[in-house]
Amino acid sequence: MQAVKDKINEMGALRKVKEEARAEERAEKEIAKARVDVAHEVRLAKEAEAAMSLHVAMAGEIARAGDKAAHEHEIKAMHTANGTNTTHEHGASPAEMAGAGGHTAYKRMP
């Protein structure tokens, strides 16, 4: 009879050890899953940061191009108001510019 009681106690202890091992394995799996989730979120954040950096760089280029165009427009407006044409857009040739007081490189030799 004592052997049966010992066997039952051993089975209970074995069951308890197995349950503890399963609980530990579940906890390890949860930790591993959490690490994978964190790594995934970090990757997404890095991708978003890279996309944002690219977006900011493109916006800067667009802004610089806009500033340059605005500056050129202001210069054209200023020269138009002064009655000068420095862009040669209206068909003024270098010879015409030389006769009209243009750049010294275009002036005719006497």
pLDDT tens digits for range 50-105:
999 999 999 999 988 888 888 887 888 777 777 665 555 555 555 555 555 555 55
Average pLDDT, stretch 30-49? Answer: 97
Residue with tokens 């420095």: 86
Which pLDDT value is given to residue 66?
84
Q: For residues 69 and 77, is the Cβ–Cβ distance under 8 A?
A: no
Select from 79, 99, 98, 74 the least CA-distant residue to 89: 79
One-letter amino acid identity for 11? M
Question: What's the whole-model pTM score?
Answer: 0.47
C-alpha 99/C-alpha 92 separation (Å) is: 11
